[in-house]
Amino acid sequence: MTSVPDPIPNNLPTIAELVPHSGPMRLLDAVLALAPGEIVAGVTPRADSLFCNTGQIGAWVGIEYMAQAMAALAGWEARERGEPVKPGLLLGTRKYVCHVSGFALGEPLSIHAKHDFAAGNGMTMMACEIRAADGKLLAEATLSVLQPDNFDTLLQNNQEQQA
């Protein structure tokens, strides 16, 4: 999955427009490229990041970078259908392999996510990669997410089952 999709013809939307996270939990900086079924997002790890420890961002944060890239793609796809951006749930990660112990501060990263599988119930799997500015593969995984039609109903049903 080393190819980069061509940007959509119009101006690229901001991460804030596509991802329902805010404040320090919005980890990505920008959408770099979009195409149907795939996205490339960017982030430059900073010392003021919530997850900065010992002068780097821990490798485990790569999963959240990937999940937020997936959320940005889902947000763009929703907007293209005339629907609002809605939250989703990270269900799991398959074969997260990180080739570095952490992400260096100030070194730009590109996060690639591409549809691998989608079920009719809102579950999606995407192949994801994190690459350095020079194209070197830093991390890779397949992530599974659930984006229910009605998040509030899902939470309410869960609470009722636990009661």
CATH number at residue 60: 3.10.129.10
- Of 59, 74, 38, the closest CA to residue 151 belongs to 74
Averaged pLDDT for residues 18-26: 89
pTM for the model stands at: 0.86
Report the pLDDT value the prediction gives residue 141, as an integer from 0 to 100: 98
- Of 91, 92, 87, the closest CA to residue 152 belongs to 87
Number of domains forming the structure of the chain: 1
Q: Give, for 152, the enclosing helix (H) or strand (E).
A: helix 151-162
Q: Is residue 7 pLDDT above 60, yes or no?
A: no
Report the pLDDT value the prediction gives residue 86, as an integer from 0 to 100: 86
Q: Considering the domain boundaries, does residue 5 fall inside one?
A: no
Q: Considering the domain boundaries, does residue 101 fall inside one?
A: yes
Summarize pLDDT for 63-119 with one digit per residue, the tens.
Answer: 999 999 999 999 999 999 999 988 888 999 999 999 999 999 999 999 999 999 878
Q: Is residue 58 pLDDT above 70, yes or no?
A: yes
Q: Considering the domain boundaries, does residue 10 fall inside one?
A: no
Summarize pLDDT for 138-158 with one digit per residue, the tens.
Answer: 999 999 999 877 656 656 666
Q: Considering the domain boundaries, does residue 8 fall inside one?
A: no
Range of the domain at 71: 15-162
Q: Is residue 160 pLDDT above 80, yes or no?
A: no
Q: Considering the domain boundaries, does residue 30 fall inside one?
A: yes
Report the pLDDT value the prediction gives residue 129, as an integer from 0 to 100: 98
- Of 28, 24, 27, 26, the closest CA to residue 12 belongs to 28
Q: Give, for 143, the enclosing helix (H) or strand (E).
A: strand 137-146
